[in-house]
Amino acid sequence: FKAFQQRAAQKKYPNLQMNGVFQADAGWVHQDEDSLNEFGRIEDGAGFRRARLSAKGSVAEHTNYLFQFDLGTAGIGRPTITDIWVEQEEVPYLGTVRAGQWKQPFSLEVVSSFRYTTLMERSSLFQAFTPFRRLGVGFYDQNADQTITWAVSGFRSGQDQFGGTYSNNSGYGTAERVTFLPCWSDEGQQYLHLGLGHFFNAPVNGVVNFRTIPEMFVGAHGNDIPVGSSGQPIPGPLNGVPFFVETGNLNVNVYNVLGTEFLWVKGAFSLQSEAMVNFVDQSGGNPMGVLPGMYAQVGYFLTGEHRPYDRKAGAIDRVIPYQNMRFWRDNGNGPGFGAWEVAARFSYLDLNDENIRGGTLTDYTVGVNWYMNPYLKTVFNWVHAIADNAAFPKSQTDLFGIRAQVDF
Amino acid sequence: FKAFQQRAAQKKYPNLQMNGVFQADAGWVHQDEDSLNEFGRIEDGAGFRRARLSAKGSVAEHTNYLFQFDLGTAGIGRPTITDIWVEQEEVPYLGTVRAGQWKQPFSLEVVSSFRYTTLMERSSLFQAFTPFRRLGVGFYDQNADQTITWAVSGFRSGQDQFGGTYSNNSGYGTAERVTFLPCWSDEGQQYLHLGLGHFFNAPVNGVVNFRTIPEMFVGAHGNDIPVGSSGQPIPGPLNGVPFFVETGNLNVNVYNVLGTEFLWVKGAFSLQSEAMVNFVDQSGGNPMGVLPGMYAQVGYFLTGEHRPYDRKAGAIDRVIPYQNMRFWRDNGNGPGFGAWEVAARFSYLDLNDENIRGGTLTDYTVGVNWYMNPYLKTVFNWVHAIADNAAFPKSQTDLFGIRAQVDF
Amino acid sequence: FKAFQQRAAQKKYPNLQMNGVFQADAGWVHQDEDSLNEFGRIEDGAGFRRARLSAKGSVAEHTNYLFQFDLGTAGIGRPTITDIWVEQEEVPYLGTVRAGQWKQPFSLEVVSSFRYTTLMERSSLFQAFTPFRRLGVGFYDQNADQTITWAVSGFRSGQDQFGGTYSNNSGYGTAERVTFLPCWSDEGQQYLHLGLGHFFNAPVNGVVNFRTIPEMFVGAHGNDIPVGSSGQPIPGPLNGVPFFVETGNLNVNVYNVLGTEFLWVKGAFSLQSEAMVNFVDQSGGNPMGVLPGMYAQVGYFLTGEHRPYDRKAGAIDRVIPYQNMRFWRDNGNGPGFGAWEVAARFSYLDLNDENIRGGTLTDYTVGVNWYMNPYLKTVFNWVHAIADNAAFPKSQTDLFGIRAQVDF
């Protein structure tokens, strides 16, 4: 009877649960002379990288929604709508059908939450080549064993931070992803994830600009003045770490990005890598441009934990320390130190091909993660970024970052 | 005893309940040559028309509050405070006294929630002639049978999206509304609603501009550039469907709008109509301008539901489908198709009189509503808008819209 | 067993509680001729001074967080992050360690919530001399008797409304505070609070501007145009009550503010006073500037309540009326009138010394507070402000304000 009551209570619609997350970052930058010449002085800084609240729940059985907005630096000067979607589960043939704005199915590190990334920022491939959040319609499902997942979406590309796209001339894209889990043992302490993805885009007005920051971001908001701290004009009211490589506006018909995913976890050790190739079908008589990129990273938990996996989403999940950090004595327990992980990443992005002269970016990153409890972590990163552009000699920039992250 | 416990639990103050709503819209526009000449190219678009969160509750017995903000397109470039008010119930003679910002008591389609409108947007009267949300003080009550309701408010007019009004020169208004329910039977499946309203305004600095969009809105936010996609400068950072009729700035002492309300529901069928006349007391020696407008709309539920009514507010209420949409088999039930409604509206707004040359707007709209469950609906609208302005020949514009709405 | 269950339920992490507060203000200004000449016409206005939502809770035992943002006028044109922090309790030697953005430990009226201030705005010392909210790291604790509290913080100074500070050139500060409670009797109806504070700041780029509004604020947001209603350019998109005294940009190495706190409560009567001296270490060969200020205020509850005190924070707490306001008969109780308090404040700020010519501001304020219930109050204030600047004769300005405040 009690169980029945509980079940009845759970079935009350609509229901709503509030959650949130914030990241307080501090960053310091050291530049060699070439970096100073190319990017200007990049200021040290401290700020909130993300500051989000969300409401999620169900409005009917099998009908779920998510509503999330961001007040942090990532909000680009104003609160940003991140995710707003509604989905219907148990649709014949399709599985779950979703409409609204969400992270489109392409790339392991994109589909996985930023909460669980091993390093402070996603790799240089993320900003340059992936669709990220878009307003569209899609579906996803998995096989009964949860060893294969797939997802397909169509969306409007090119929207502003309110999710709006406005154009009579293109602005449509699609994304598809399929993942495999050939090995899974020790209740998820050992597994191998493989994935394939495809992103097609016909950008608004046939114009696109591929670019990225150097895997660390410390940014401020100017008074809507489109000038970065570097003195380089950049779009939007950002005043922080500038783009290190950038093709400038390219006239294209469409472009297609193909991507591969690899994640191998063996206990405390993890090895993760993705590679992408961007086939840029240029208009105006310019030849096809082929832009490749890749990253590979390793992580090792000094305290023995492992990197968990969400088999339904084909994505990385939350790290649970064996012991929470604690300084006091509670029920006879001694002090705790949380979980400690060391990590390193190599990434490479090549935005040069044919007439395209965006430059190449090579980043070396080392990091230490201190998971004080499942919801609080402190991250230390050191990025050494080597940008090689046509107009400037090879520049060397070191970026040091500290992040405190709380999600709740 | 249990009832007592529950009652005690409910009496805990202050209490708070979160709710939200969002509308994902996509719109396509077809313009004849005159429309292109007059308004420029109106872009197709997709975006969030509204994206709201609210907190409501009580801080003491009979003392209630509401706090709601909007992150969507309607937020005009920044989050907008929609409703923030506190009210005290059971005040002698007055009933409930409310202070803060809320929808002032004028017009059935304004007082009713946008969640329950039959068509995607309210009629052309709404934007041109009604006070909508204002910061003020008012009271409302109803008779014991709930067959008559009344409401009176005084407020500052002319505020920005933060609810602020700043002026030493006018900027005050009042609104009054009374509604009647002469027929009510079959537990609300058949009823007749009648209403009368009055809106008085002494606008800030004696300047007012009556205008409206053509009953569909697809809008983006530019970089705070006060130019619409049409090339016509419009106030604010909107970049979307322009105003189709507009008087331009008129110098006035005050203006008074009188309105009538009619809603007849007979089972699955509904007929709703409002008419307004705006008496514009112009300053500077110009004569009294008289600007009329009206709309009439019908709706019919193919699946047999009816349009519910809130007797306390004198307003339209939420449609509850007989069956939720569902694709699976649950407890032996078969699939469900939700509720389906077809609807049509005619509206007419005349902004020409004496020296006033705002033009006339005639809109024909047809729509289909698919209520998938009480909290999720998909709406299809086709608006044919005929704008007749002095400076341009009669233009014809067709606007097609799809909306997914979730409220929770 | 039940108690155990409850305790288990409370221990569920992470947990979250939503709260909020809003203040609807209306203000009217009367200026003499000198005030009109100096500040231009200050417009009457009505708006939301604050409109906040917050989420607070714990993500693990002894690990707490707060997330609060503001959509009101205080949001300076966009939503402002007010508090975002995480803290760890029970840290050896330090007590509670906090990281993020919060009100730095300096000044009784700053550390106490704005919800509980006796008058509408904090004194003129607040805006001119205190650090207020900053992004940093600090700790706080109290002795076992809760008769002494202390707090120490280091932070980045000079941040924007998103909590971000970006500078290679200074922008660091510290704050320290210690409070004493030598007398405490009648369960807190009689007590004496004493406090000392220190604020050190090395401002960004060695530039600082000390200034304040005249203890009342009615402000609007212009279209990002940096001009006040007074015609005086002020930073930011504010369009409201201008700064009445202002040093202009001073070139400094650092500055140090010392402050004293005094609060004596004897039943319905309260006397509160703070004094500060700002030692400005100017650069460029200018001599040390010494800028003093102080305020003293009294309050008296006509209905017999007292001003409560939070011994853990060393701060003022929420007033609880003996009777809530009510107009109806409930369980045989008669009507209630809430709590009524009368109050007055004198404040003085001197921004003239050596080459510094910011002017002096002398404010006389009287007020009436009507606490309708613990969470709803209406406040009436009359401020008489005398500003004496070098460039203008002594000006007299009267500001009348009404505020309805709801916190939940």
Residue C256, min C-alpha distance to chain B (Å): 37
* More confidently predicted of B240 and C193: C193
Query: Would the pLDDT of C63 be above 50?
Result: yes
Q: Which residues of B touch A78 (CB under 8 A)?
A: 77-79
Q: Which residue of A has its CA nearest to C70?
A: A71
Mutate to test the interface with A, among B375, B399, B407 (most CBs of A within 10 A): B375
**According to the per-residue pLDDT averaged within each range, which of A65-74, A184-193, B6-15, B35-44 is highest?**
A184-193
Residue A99 at interface with chain B, using a CB cutoff of 8 Å = yes
Contact C51 B167 (CB under 8 A): no
Given this model, what pLDDT does residue A332 score? 60
Q: Closest partner residue to A376 among C86, C101, C165, by Cβ?
A: C86
Locate tokens 């019908």: which residue? B298
Given this model, what pLDDT does residue C371 score? 98
Q: Judge whether B246 and B210 are in contact, CB under 8 Å.
A: yes
Mean pLDDT of C284-303: 97
Instruction: Give the percent of chain B with pLDDT over 70.
Output: 86
B161: region left, alpha or beta (phi > 0 left; psi from -120 to 50 alpha) = alpha
Distance CA B121, CA B367 (A): 11
For B358, half-sphere exposure in the C-beta direction (CA atoms, 13 angstrom radius) is 28
C78 falls in which pLDDT band (50, 70, 90)? Answer: low
Report all structural domains of chain A as residue ranges with CATH numbers, in order of start.
Answer: 18-49+108-407 (2.40.160.10)
Query: Would the pLDDT of B228 be above 70?
Result: no
Question: Collapsing DSSP states into helix, strand and coil, what is residue B205?
Answer: helix
Dihedral sign for Cα C229, B248, B243, B369, please: positive
Distance CA A333, CA A95 (A): 46
Distance CA A119, CA A380 (A): 8
Query: Would the pLDDT of C288 be above 60?
Result: yes
Query: Would the pLDDT of C113 be above 50?
Result: yes
Chain A from 339 to 398: CB within 8 A of any B CB:
none
C226 falls in which pLDDT band (50, 70, 90)? Answer: very low
Mutate to test the interface with B, among A18, A63, A76, A159 (most CBs of B within 10 A): A63
Query: Would the pLDDT of C102 be above 90?
Result: yes
Question: Of B27, B69, B72, whose CA–CA distance to B382 is shortest?
Answer: B27
Mean pLDDT of B363-379: 97
Interface pTM, i.e. ipTM: 0.90
A328 falls in which pLDDT band (50, 70, 90)? Answer: low
Given this model, what pLDDT does residue A43 score? 79
Mean pLDDT of B68-95: 82
Query: Would the pLDDT of A7 be above 50?
Result: no
* Pick from B73-87, B391-405, C394-408: least confident: B73-87
Given this model, what pLDDT does residue B335 score? 81
Contact A330 C69 (CB under 8 A): no
Residue C223 at interface with chain A, using a CB cutoff of 8 Å = no
B168 falls in which pLDDT band (50, 70, 90)? Answer: low
Residue C54 at interface with chain A, using a CB cutoff of 8 Å = no
Mean pLDDT of C74-92: 79
Q: Which residue of A has its CA nearest to C56?
A: A408
Instruction: Give the percent of chain A with pLDDT over 70.
Output: 86
Residue B188 at interface with chain C, using a CB cutoff of 8 Å = no
Given this model, what pLDDT does residue B165 score? 60
* Pick from A217-226, B347-356, C44-53: least confident: A217-226
Query: Would the pLDDT of A1 be above 80?
Result: no
Query: Would the pLDDT of B151 be above 50?
Result: yes
Tokens (6 digits) for B113: 């929630």
List C-alpha distances in Å: C4 to B2, B73, C33, C348, C352: 21, 49, 70, 56, 63
**According to the per-residue pLDDT averaged within each range, which of A388-402, B304-318, B324-338 is highest?**
B304-318
Given this model, what pLDDT does residue C72 score? 80
Residue type, C40: G
Tokens (6 digits) for B22: 């969002």
Question: Of C377, C374, C369, whose CA–CA distance to C341 is shortest?
Answer: C369
Given this model, what pLDDT does residue C4 score? 43
C177 falls in which pLDDT band (50, 70, 90)? Answer: very high
- How confident is the prediction for chain C on average, in pLDDT? 87
DSSP state of A92: T
State pLDDT tens for residues A35-79: 999 888 887 888 888 999 999 999 998 999 999 998 886 544 457
CA-CA-CA-CA torsion for C73, C74, C79, C82, nearest 10 degrees?
-160
Residue B370, min C-alpha distance to chain A (Å): 15
* More confidently predicted of C219 and A49: A49
Q: Judge whether C228 and C218 are in contact, CB under 8 Å.
A: no
DSSP secondary structure of B267-305 = TTEEEEEEEEEEEEEESTTPPPEEEEEEEEEEEEETTS-
Query: Would the pLDDT of A187 be above 50?
Result: yes
Residue type, A114: F
Q: Which residues of A touch C79 (CB under 8 A)?
A: 71, 78-79
Q: Which residue of C has its CA nearest to B54?
A: C53
Query: Would the pLDDT of B274 be above 70?
Result: yes
C330 falls in which pLDDT band (50, 70, 90)? Answer: low
Distance CA A137, CA C202 (A): 52
For B202, half-sphere exposure in the C-beta direction (CA atoms, 13 angstrom radius) is 10
Query: Would the pLDDT of A82 be above 80?
Result: yes
State pLDDT tens for residues A122-159: 999 998 999 888 889 999 999 999 999 999 999 987 65
* Pick from A349-363, A380-394, B105-119, C64-78: least confident: C64-78
Mean pLDDT of C96-107: 95
Beta-strand (E) ranges in C203-268? 207-208, 211-212, 219-221, 238-240, 245-246, 250-266
B227 falls in which pLDDT band (50, 70, 90)? Answer: very low
Instruction: Give the percent of chain C with pLDDT over 90.
Output: 69
Q: Which residues of C touch A46 (CB under 8 A)?
A: 135, 156, 159, 164-165
Given this model, what pLDDT does residue B5 score? 45
Residue A234 at interface with chain C, using a CB cutoff of 8 Å = no
Given this model, what pLDDT does residue C159 score? 58
Q: Closest partner residue to B48 among A84, A88, A156, by Cβ?
A: A84
Query: Would the pLDDT of C237 be above 60?
Result: no
A234 falls in which pLDDT band (50, 70, 90)? Answer: very low
Query: Would the pLDDT of C164 be above 50?
Result: yes
State pLDDT tens for residues B44-55: 888 888 999 999
Tokens (6 digits) for A360: 């190449």
Q: Which residues of B touch C47 (CB under 8 A)?
A: 135, 159, 162-166
Question: Of A47, A4, A55, A56, whose CA–CA distance to A22 is shortest?
Answer: A47
Contact B160 C220 (CB under 8 A): yes
Element (H, E) at B129: helix B124-129
Q: Closest partner residue to B14 among C220, C326, C375, by Cβ?
A: C375
* Pick from A242-256, B212-226, B337-351: least confident: B212-226
Q: Closest partner residue to C20 among B55, B63, B100, by Cβ?
A: B55
Dihedral sign for Cα C321, C323, C326, C331, please: positive
Q: Return the bridge partners of B376, or none.
A: B373, B406
Given this model, what pLDDT does residue A294 score? 98
Q: Give me the helices (H) in C163-225, please.
A: none
Mean pLDDT of C47-60: 93
Q: Which residues contact B178 (CB under 8 A, 6 or more apart)?
A: B148, B149, B150, B151, B195, B196, B197
State pLDDT tens for residues A298-321: 999 999 999 999 999 999 999 999
List C-alpha distances in Å: C296 to A51, A234, C212, C263, C308: 39, 50, 17, 10, 18
Query: Would the pLDDT of B329 be above 60?
Result: no
Distance CA C390, CA C355 (A): 12
Locate tokens 């308004």: which residue? B39
* Pick from A59-73, A98-112, C348-362: least confident: A59-73
Given this model, what pLDDT does residue A335 score? 81
Q: Which residue of B has its CA nearest to C373?
A: B60
Query: Would the pLDDT of C91 be above 70?
Result: yes
